[in-house]
A and B are shown apart, each in its own frame.
Chain A
Amino acid sequence: MKPYSINRKQDALWHLISVGILTGQHRPNNWSPDAICKPARVAMIDTSVAMDHPNLREAIRRDLAFDLFSTRLGAFPGLLEQKQIGDLGFGDAQALVAGLPGCKALLAELMARLAPDQPPKQGTLQPAASPVFSGHGTAIAGLIGARPARVPYAQAHITGPEDGQLPLPYCGADPTCEIVPISTNFDADPEQMILAFLYADLVNPDVIVLPRGIEDPFRAEPQLHAIDFLGQPLGELIAPCPIPDAQRELWSELAELILKISHRRPVICAAGNAHEEFGIYPANLASDDNGVISVGALNAKGWPSSYSPEEGLTVWAPSSDAEQFDSGEVRLNPERLLEIGHGVPPVNDNHKYSAFGIISTDVPGPGGYAATPFDTPEPQDGIREYGSYFCDFGGTSAACAIVAGFMALGRGLGQIPADADGIAAKAWLLSKCQPVRPDLPNVMVPHLHGEAFVRGEPDQP
């Protein structure tokens, strides 16, 4: 944990207060869960999720959860008890693949695999969806749509309410939405990502969120294939393995597919965590004429996080911060200056630094970002600690998850019309934004009521 002043306390939900979803007392801020006519659906392309987390149990669509990590055409980790997947109400993606032959062929394979009489998994091949290694996805899902919950607790370890139910007062940006986890591995494989996006579209979500980058060798920044060196594209010269033409085509089709899908529904992407010039791919596809939304990170003081890209982003949202100590910026934790000792220039941005992170749900028990201190399985009589159920998260992953939940809430409340396409939904988001500071007119931050960003941590120069 970052050092805190001894008396400093951080509201675990400051990020939701900042964007106008909750009041300081953690009540819905001028909206009501009862006003949700139809819960919004969020397709989340990331790692797997700990679906049994008490704050997520009601949020995750177990029947639609889809794993592409270990199975080429996907498996249904939430349906393993069933012999057939049944009719899951998939939509139609044929129009998306027009002119994209590789995608069209993959869609045909995928549709055959999604037929109601298909089994949830292929023979002995299992999905890679163990909750233990689902930390990232669990944190993302929590920020989007966690619900407050009560769980039985072991009274030998916790002092809590007399009814034996421990409250877990945590929620995501839209605690009424439903989340469809689509898990992938991180191989540089265009086919897998095409299948993930096709499946995401087939479940008819209101929002697609991609809290990660895609390692497209032609589109990751800087675009090395555009640099001529010794008469050849630099990307080809340095590629560990030659890229076959078929794969090259698939990478191009994936980029087109993402854009086409974004015209149907918003595709919300993390912009990157290393101050990339225009954000990572595919966040860097965002432009006025598509529904890709590139999300940067803002710290609790209302400054862009030190690691966040700044150019070409659509919006910024609350997240963590990190120290920076280079020619670009000196932003150090003022509470650590004595420890650092030397080399801190007198003119610096240390006042911008915020120690606040983003609290989200974590894999209960030994996995995830925060591990349980107990090394035996959870006893039957209830949880012994809640520390491992939550983690201190951050990055533009967190920021884009908050925006995904924010837009889901807008959809659930009917503020985004049911027939809104990706560009219209994006326009709604932008209509809710204000510059975070007068001197940062491009740093637009959403607020549910179109008001100014509420700082979670007061500025203390």
Chain B
Amino acid sequence: MADFSIMEQYEFVVTPQGLELIERAEDPQGSGTDMDAHATNSALTVLGSTMVARSAKGALAALNRNRNRNRNRNRNRNRNRNRNRNRAEFDTQDDLGIQEPWEERAKLYALRDEWMNLPMPLPPSLPELRAQALDLLKKQALLVRPQFAMRREEILVEADLELSRYLRPYGIETHGGYDATIHLMLVVLALTDEIGLYYKARWNVPRPNQIEPRLRPFLAAPAHASYHSNHAFQSFTIAFIMSRIIPEHPGSTQLFLSARRIAENREWAGVHYACDTQAGHMLARMILPVLEKVLEKNMLAAQAEWL
């Protein structure tokens, strides 16, 4: 049962300093309706922390606000050029554009029991993979056509998992002031690359062109296993994480579509089956609660750039 005596004795008032807790003066009438009754109240304590955040208020306006538009813009440009040039090779500071996330990796491995045995479905059988490869052959035949020039270009750009496709839905691709958001995405890419390789090694599913030799991949197939698609896994993980940080931002749903496009482009390139894309999505969805613990500080720092 709600204790309304609290409401009778005290009230909250919003002031320029924050939320004030006020002790009410005696109210002999008992049921006043005057909205300006605070004049008779005495302050009990004033310790409202700053209430700077505005949430769903005009999500477009509030969440796209960039208070530090020009700050570190050049630094970001350089960082974005260097980021994650080749995922197969990134293990140095220069390649990632960030320092090795040792602290996050340590947390990740401290929680290894929570993510090393997620209920992933078994990969399809070889006949099923052959059936899926047929669809990739059709995509291969279509990809050479002129109307697919944009997709070809995307495939080449995304081969290195650059960040523009994740930043564009939020309109921050060329803006400074979102250092923590970009840093978070880079750390996610680093951690999920490792998690993904762990799961890939479990089933060691052959790449599509190993199952279907008539398939000529548009890109060189990476040396590691096919199931699941790490591009899908990493892209969807970023989408799920952003969905947790700023769910009300219209870009958060668009980011899922962008991630799906990236993942499907890998099918068009002939290096992944459709089931790889689906499995990458599933793993990303399931890993989120673990990454939320591992990356709490990074996510809070990123969130602070939006609220």
Taking Cβ atoms with an 8 Å cutoff, the residues of A that contact B are 1, 3-4, 6, 8-14, 17, 22-28, 33, 47, 58, 69-72, 122-130, 132-133, 135-136, 139, 147-150, 157-161, 166-171, 175-176, 185-189, 211-212, 215, 240-241, 270, 273-274, 306-307, 319-323, 356-357, 359, 362, 366-373, 385-388, 390-398, 454, 456
Contacts and interface: CB of A to CB of B under 8 A. Distances in A.
Contacts of B21: 160, 166-167, 169, 386
B304 A454 contact: no
Contacts of A14: 35
Interface stretch (B114-122, B127-135, B178-186): B114-122
Given A370-B52, A394-B54, 13 more contacts: A11-B11, A11-B38, A24-B37, A27-B7, A28-B4, A123-B119, A125-B286, A160-B45, A169-B12, A273-B60, A359-B12, A359-B19, A386-B19
A226 to B, nearest CB: 20
Interface in B189-230: none
Interface in B48-79: 48-62
B238 interface: no
The winner among B2, B16, B35 for most chain A CB atoms within 10 A is: B2
A147 B261 contact: no
B73 to A, nearest CB: 24
Contacts of B7: 22, 26-27, 148, 169, 171
Contact of A12 (B19, B57, B292): B19
Interface in B270-307: 282, 285-286, 288-290, 292-293, 296, 299-300, 303-304, 307
Contacts of B82: none
Contacts of B113: 124
Contact of A241 (B15, B261, B286): B261
26 contacts: A11-B11, A12-B13, A12-B14, A13-B11, A23-B31, A24-B32, A25-B37, A124-B118, A127-B289, A128-B292, A130-B289, A133-B292, A136-B56, A136-B248, A148-B7, A185-B244, A185-B247, A185-B288, A186-B252, A186-B253, A241-B257, A323-B61, A367-B300, A369-B51, A373-B49, A393-B57
B47 A386 contact: yes
A25 B244 contact: no
Given A33-B2, A126-B290, A148-B4, A357 B57 contact: yes
Contacts of B59: 273-274, 395
Contact of B2 (A147, A240, A388): A147
B35 A357 contact: no
A17 B35 contact: yes
A167 B14 contact: no
Contact of A454 (B10, B35, B299): B35
Contact of B61 (A69, A186, A307): A307
B257 A188 contact: yes
Given A186-B247, A274-B59, A307-B57, A167 B6 contact: yes
A46 to B, nearest CB: 8
B153 interface: no
Contacts of A370: 49-53
Contacts of B257: 188, 240-241
A149 B296 CA distance: 28
A135 B55 contact: yes
B2 A1 contact: no
A128 B288 contact: yes
Contact of B53 (A6, A274, A307, A369): A369
A167 B282 CA distance: 44
A394 B57 contact: yes
A156 B9 CA distance: 23
B288 A69 contact: yes
Contact of A70 (B252, B286, B293): B286
B19 A6 contact: no
Contacts of B89: none
Given A33-B2, A167-B6, A169-B10, A397 B248 contact: yes
Closest 8 A-B residue pairs measured CB to CB?
A: A387-B49, A395-B56, A369-B53, A394-B57, A12-B12, A148-B6, A10-B14, A126-B289
A57 B114 CA distance: 28
B49 A369 contact: no
Contacts of B52: 1, 370
A147 B5 CA distance: 11
A372 B300 CA distance: 12
Contacts of A319: 57
A70 B3 contact: no
Contact of B243 (A9, A17, A185, A387): A185
Contact of B58 (A28, A147, A322): A322
Contact of B119 (A12, A125, A366): A125
Given A367-B300, A395-B58, A397-B55, A124 B4 contact: no
Contacts of B303: 133, 367
A69 B252 CA distance: 14
A157 B12 contact: no
Contacts of B261: 240-241
Contacts of B285: 69-70, 72, 185
A362 B51 CA distance: 11
A369 B307 contact: yes
Nearest to B248: A136
Given A123-B119, A215-B253, A398-B56, A187 B239 contact: yes
Contacts of A122: 119
A211 B57 CA distance: 12
A9 B18 CA distance: 10
B33 interface: yes
A312 to B, nearest CB: 19
B110 interface: no
Contacts of A135: 55
A130 B292 contact: yes
A307 B250 CA distance: 15
A391 B53 contact: yes
Nearest to B165: A240
The winner among B4, B61, B239, B296 for most chain A CB atoms within 10 A is: B4
Given A9-B38, A186-B243, A27 B54 contact: no
B240 interface: yes
Contacts of B256: 186-189
B57 A273 contact: yes
